[in-house]
Amino acid sequence: MPIEEIKHIVDYGIIGLLVFLSFITFAFAIERVLFFRSVNIKSYSNKIALELDLSKHLATIASIGSNAPYIGLLGTVLAIILTFYIIGEQQATINPGEIMKHLALALKATAAGLVVAIPATVIYNALLAKIDRILALWEIYQDQMGQSDR
């Protein structure tokens, strides 16, 4: 595989995939927040049905949060392979500054992976906390309805 193709895979493929995953994370987070604002716990007589509706898309957000660093790491490994290939081609005229520049740029994929993973994980945990709160409110409502029937 030519050097430029590997560079484009890292620059456009890996970073592009991470940008796309970040977009998905924020789109699902916004959708969930809007759903949480509109959910009517009084319309649910079954807790499992409520949980299913509340937890929609959460597994996707969690998967993005846990896998984005690995995707970034893949990009870094590819870029380091590219750097070693360049070193191998330029054995007689190795410029240390150029090598350091390539290694520094190799780390951008890992950084991008972390930039995607950290907010995704925070969003996931915040949504889980909100789900727990809504479920607790549903249980309080159900207890009140049970007492008023007596």
Q: Are the CB atoms for 87 and 3 separated by under 8 Å?
A: no
Q: Are the CB atoms for 113 and 72 separated by under 8 Å?
A: yes
Q: Give the total residue count for the chain.
A: 150
Q: Is residue 20 part of a domain?
A: yes
Question: pLDDT tier at 150 (50, 70, 90 boundaries)?
Answer: very low
Structural domains in the chain (count): 1
Q: Is residue 150 part of a domain?
A: no
CB atoms within 10 A of CB 1: 10
What is residue 19's DSSP assignment? Answer: H
Q: Is residue 84 part of a domain?
A: yes
In terms of Cα–Cα distance, which of 56, 50, 53, 52 is closest to 135? 50
32-60: average pLDDT: 95
Distance CA 71, CA 15 (A): 9
Instruction: Give Cβ neighbours of residue 107 (< 8 Å, ≥ 6 apart).
Output: 76
Q: Is residue 89 part of a domain?
A: yes
pLDDT digits (tens, 9 = 90+) for 62-90: 999 999 999 999 989 988 888 888 788 77
Of 6-20, 43-57, 88-102, which gets the smallest average pLDDT?
88-102
Q: With 70 as the cut, is the pLDDT of residue 1 above it?
A: no
Distance CA 28, CA 20 (A): 12
In terms of Cα–Cα distance, which of 52, 61, 9 is closest to 138? 52
- For all residues of the chain together, what is the average pLDDT? 89
pLDDT digits (tens, 9 = 90+) for 2-43: 667 777 777 788 999 999 999 999 999 999 999 999 999 999
Q: Is residue 149 part of a domain?
A: no
Domain that holds residue 127: 3-144
pLDDT digits (tens, 9 = 90+) for 102-146: 788 888 999 999 999 999 999 999 999 999 999 999 999 998 887
Q: Is residue 36 part of a domain?
A: yes
Q: Is residue 57 part of a domain?
A: yes
Q: Is residue 139 part of a domain?
A: yes
Q: What is the pTM assigned to this prediction?
A: 0.84
